[in-house]
Amino acid sequence: MSYRNLKPSLIPAIDHLAVLNRNNFIASTHQPKRSPMAYASARSEGPPSQDLIRQTADAVRRRVLEHTLNNNGGYLSQACSSAEILSTLYLRVMCLGPSQAPLVPRRFAGVPGSDNPAAFTGADYNGPKAPELDRFIFSPVHYALVLYSLLIELGRLGPGALDEFNQDGSTVELIGAEHSPGHEVTAGSLAQALSQAGGIALARRLRGETGRVWVFMSDGEFQEGQTWEAFAALAHHRLGNLGVYVDANAQQCDGPMDRVMGIEPLAERLLAFGAEVHTVDGHDPDALAAPAEEDSERDRPLVVIARTDPCRGLDQLRERAPKLHYVRFKSDGEFQTYRSLLETLREGAN
Ligand SMILES: Cc1ncc(C[n+]2csc(CCOP(=O)(O)OP(=O)(O)O)c2C)c(N)n1
């Protein structure tokens, strides 16, 4: 199901966020280029254009670069590789309602448990839980800065939401957890979220819910055994209501995937594990959305392997290869180079 065949009353009406944005405004160095209102009208007029998705992805890259400069560190190459995947998921593939969460991120309220009614997850930034609506499970949580930046661009988080990034008591964590905006589960120990998503998908099917479960994963997670056990379970339970988008950027924390531990041929392996598999250009919004928009009643999980470039939009990063996983500038000269690059990118966007 895509947003196109959703009841009009459920189409995300995010224009109210424009008002909330004004009321909760916190000073930020950079405002989202496109107002939430623009997204609302784009959605009500039909599928968002490739241009809108690409512009959003570029804005996400700029925001992550800005943050990396301000903090002298950040998961920058992950923004380069995944910006179109996440933008396409939020703007085109997933059927989500308006955010139910505050624009200013809540403080951490403790871990969930029967003795802690104050605990919450960050899933309410993705809208309410409703039978017809989709759920989003964000697995490689070191990509959290990319997700927060996208939520800001979409008006689901306020423009100052990164002000408390990685501070004690903040939910805007460097390595996201279940209470972090846009996150529903804790998955810092990688490759666990798919199993949790499978449980959610099975429960939804048993309840007769029509909404899907979408999972975002990184390729490094396919080096872990739990991922394969999860796929075996998804196929066994014929969970056609679950779809996975993989950022196949060919990198992990210790270097290029093929040097650390190869996972290819990934498509063939996933096929053998009972999934429906599509391999696409991960920077092409139409190609990314197409498998999810196919009108088929699936009885097996969908996997979209999105082949991406970890330096997309920031060619300068290639000089750092193969050390791309976390970017910290090594000299004042390098810092200034990236700062000028950000200015150039901003000018190009205006
Ligand atoms: C179970 C587990 N093992 C190891 C780690 C350490 N770790 C953190 S990030 C990472 C690399 C994951 O690969 P990927 O997300 O593809 O890397 P990227 O594209 O972000 O460079 C690893 C192994 C972890 N978080 N969890």
**Residue 45 has what pLDDT?**
62
Say if strands 251-252 and 255-256 run parallel, antiparallel, or are unpaired.
antiparallel
Q: What is the mean pLDDT of residues 202-208?
A: 98
What is the model's pLDDT at position 296?
74
Sign of the four-CA dihedral 287, 86, 143, 205: negative
What is the mean pLDDT of the segment spanning 118-144? 98
In a domain, 309, yes or no: yes
User: Which DSSP state fits 143?
Assistant: G
Its pTM stands at 0.89
Cα(218) to centroid(ligand 1), Å: 8
**What's the mean pLDDT when you consider all of the chain?**
89
191 pLDDT more than 70: yes
Give a yes or no: residue 269 inside a domain.
Answer: yes
Lowest mean pLDDT among 21-35, 204-218, 290-304: 21-35
| C-alpha dihedral (76, 157, 48, 296), degrees to nearest 10 | 90
In a domain, 5, yes or no: no
- Residue located nearest, by CA, to atom 22 of ligand 1: 253
Tell me: pLDDT of 34 over 70: no
Closest residue CA from atom 7 of ligand 1: 253
For the residues 242-254, what does the mean pLDDT come to? 98
Model confidence pLDDT, tens digit, residues 77-111: 999 999 999 999 999 999 999 999 999 999 999 99
**What integer pLDDT is reported at residue 44 of this predicted model?**
52
The rounded distance, in Å, linking the Cα atoms of 142 and 147 is 10
Whether residue 201 lies inside any domain: the answer is yes
Distance (Å) of CA 264 to CA 217, 234, 269: 16, 20, 8
Atom number, ligand 1, closest to the C-alpha of residue 257: 16
From ligand 1's centre to the CA of 307, what distance in Å? 18
Number of domains in the chain: 1
Burial of 243 (C-beta count, 10 Å sphere; 0-12/13-18/19+): buried
The verdict on residue 33 lying in a domain is no
Contacts of 91 (CB under 8 A, 6+ apart): 39, 42, 43, 48, 52, 53, 56, 154
CA nearest ligand 1 atom 17, residue: 252
Ligand 1: which atom is nearest the Cα of residue 192?
Answer: 1
The rounded Å distance from CA 139 to ligand 1 centre is 11
Check: CB of residue 114 under 8 Å from CB of residue 180: no
* Residue numbers of the domain that contains 340: 48-349
Q: In this prediction, what percent of the chain has a pLDDT beyond 70?
A: 87
The pLDDT confidence band at residue 20, using thresholds 50, 70 and 90, is: very low
Distance 164 CA to ligand 1 centre (A): 24
CATH number of 244's domain: 3.40.50.970
Q: Is the pLDDT of residue 11 over 70?
A: no
43 within a domain of the structure (yes/no): no
Is-contact 47 95, C-beta < 8 A? no
- 37-46, 96-105, 144-153, 265-274, range with the lowest pLDDT: 37-46
Q: Which atom of ligand 1 is nearest to the CA of 224?
A: 1
- The DSSP secondary structure of 264-332, one letter per residue, reads -SHHHHHHHTT-EEEEEETT-HHHHHHHHHS----SS-EEEEEE--TTTT-GGGGGGTT--SSB---SH
Test site for ligand 1: of 253, 307, 324, most ligand atoms within 8 A of the Cβ: 253
Q: What is the DSSP letter of 54?
A: H
Q: Is residue 10 part of a domain?
A: no
Closest ligand 1 atom number to CA of residue 140: 15
Residue 9 lies in a domain: no
Tell me what the mean pLDDT of segment 52-62 comes to. Answer: 98
Phi, psi at residue 89, to the nearest 5°? Answer: -60, -50
Q: Distance, CA 268 to ligand 1 centroid (Å)?
A: 23
Q: Is the pLDDT of residue 27 over 80?
A: no
